[in-house]
Amino acid sequence: MRQAVILLVILGICALWTLPLVWVLKSPNNPYATALLITTCILEAPIIMVLVFKGMWTPIARRHPAQPIADDAITRRFQSFSLGLINLGWSVHASVDDQYLHLEPVAFLRWFGAIPMSIRWEELSKLNRNGKSVYMTGGHRLVGPAWCFEMLKARKSNEQG
């Protein structure tokens, strides 16, 4: 429900962009119309990003608060992940240790409200065949590089064997 409201607000903001656009198209030499269109374009993207992160990423991240990363963790920077509707290409520093998959959005995204999270391996299930997609407890789909989910694959095979 919350995601639906956020999407409607985002669509509303996008629809508001059309008003100054139409004004500029009808009055191409009007400096006020042009200024309003430019201002709308500049402000729209950050507002949408804040809504997306505060409304979709942060509630999930709060259920999986960031934990200290173990000294023997494998870390790779600038990895691509998607969580539900949010796609973060080359924007997450990922670390894998025995207990958690740690996801830390890059600094730029943290300015807009994306907070780090640590997901316990027990909270992940249903690894797909190519090893790049899992489901989190709560039904959220997490897609990332296959190397991140190798620990999950190893844990599942240990439970079966």
Count of CB atoms within 10 A of residue 136's CB?
20
Q: What tens digit of pLDDT does each residue of 77-103 get? A: 999 999 988 999 999 999 999 999 999
All residue ranges of the chain with pLDDT < 70 are 1, 161
Give this prediction's pTM. Answer: 0.85
Query: Residue with structure tokens 């920077």?
Result: 77
CA 111 to chain centre: 13
The pLDDT of residue 16: 86
For residue 4, what are the CA distances in angstroms to 46, 52, 54, 137?
19, 11, 14, 20
